[in-house]
């Protein structure tokens, strides 16, 4: 009995098709994120909020002012629908005996940290 046929490289065709579809889907996701999530605006809003001087003691008329020098990310982990990690900010902290001048901060330099900068920590929580 004679068996004749054509050897079609189906794996090659499928890999090529999947790659094209994957790239199109990833591009659509990126485009949607750019249109719907204004991360730069959120970061600006948060930095403006924490950079606004506030009075820490009425009797001594003391004011606290924080200036963000740079921001970094560390220990990013992805778990299906959640990406988590540490946000690290290098700041200048000042205490004044008069109301300090407010200057609109710019978005600081952004860095990727492979490890913590040092062992000390100071936590400030804010909503973006």
- Mean pLDDT of the 73-91 span: 77
Contact between 98 and 61 (Cβ < 8 Å): yes
Distance CA 21, CA 28 (A): 11
pTM for the complete prediction? 0.48
- pLDDT, one tens digit per residue, over 83-108 is 777 777 788 889 999 998 888 777 77
């Amino acid at each position: 009995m004679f068996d004749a046929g054509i050897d079609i490289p189906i794996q090659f065709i499928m890999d090529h098709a999947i790659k094209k579809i994957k790239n199109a889907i990833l591009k659509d996701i990126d485009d949607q994120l750019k249109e719907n999530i204004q991360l730069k605006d959120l970061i600006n809003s948060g930095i403006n909020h924490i950079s606004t001087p506030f009075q820490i003691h009425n009797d001594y008329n003391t004011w606290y002012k924080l200036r963000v020098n740079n921001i970094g990310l560390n220990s990013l982990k992805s778990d299906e629908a959640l990406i988590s990690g540490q946000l690290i900010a290098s700041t200048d902290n000042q205490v004044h005996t008069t109301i300090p001048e407010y200057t609109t901060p710019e978005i600081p330099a952004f860095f990727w940290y492979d490890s913590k900068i040092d062992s000390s920590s100071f936590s400030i929580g804010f909503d973006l």
